[in-house]
């Protein structure tokens, strides 16, 4: 049996997530009203940040297997903001605290300001339906 080669590594997944995060933040900055699309955008931010947090854990596992503890700890510290902000943002959107949401989106914007999203990107609108996914994910988490 031949070896399975994974072309979509965790680094590439993280890079794509950061681009979609940047795109969603920029789209959210242009929104003037709180409507269904605004909820979808904020919910997408929560889900994307949680995916990045999981992605960081997957990256670090490989380093810890090899005994690169210091490198793993530094990497975790560099990306710790994703978990912190996602938890606060999840709570803020659930409680509909839009002032806190705006503050947290500003924090995210500062973190993704260096991320370049090409004008002709193929990312689409991944935030469509994210509010329902977030509610479903929260519901299944509560049941466990």
Over residues 79-94, the pLDDT tens digits come to 999 999 999 999 999 8
Mean pLDDT over 27-35 rounds to 84
pTM (two decimals): 0.84
Does residue 128 have a pLDDT over 90?
no
- Name every residue whose Cβ is closer than 8 Å to that of residue 13 and which is 6 or more positions away in sequence: 51, 55
Q: Cα–Cα distance between 50 and 44 in angstroms, integer?
A: 10
CA atoms within 13 A of residue 13's CA, in its CB half-sphere: 17
Does residue 121 have a pLDDT over 80?
no
Q: How much of the chain, in percent, has pLDDT values that exceed 70?
A: 89
Residue 19: Cβ within 10 Å count:
17
């Amino acid at each position: 049996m031949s070896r399975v080669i994974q072309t979509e590594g965790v680094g590439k997944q993280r890079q794509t997530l950061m681009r979609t995060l940047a795109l969603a933040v920029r789209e959210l900055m242009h929104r003037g009203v709180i409507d269904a699309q605004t909820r979808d955008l904020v919910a997408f931010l929560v889900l994307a940040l949680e995916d990045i947090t999981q992605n960081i854990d997957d990256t670090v596992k490989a380093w810890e297997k090899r005994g690169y503890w210091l490198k793993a700890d530094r990497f975790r510290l560099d990306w710790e903001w994703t978990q912190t902000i996602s938890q606060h943002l999840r709570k803020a959107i659930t409680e509909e605290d839009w002032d806190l949401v705006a503050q947290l989106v500003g924090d995210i914007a500062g973190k993704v300001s260096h991320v370049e999203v090409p004008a002709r990107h193929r990312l689409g609108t991944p935030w469509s339906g994210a509010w329902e996914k977030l509610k479903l994910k929260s519901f299944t988490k509560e049941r466990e």
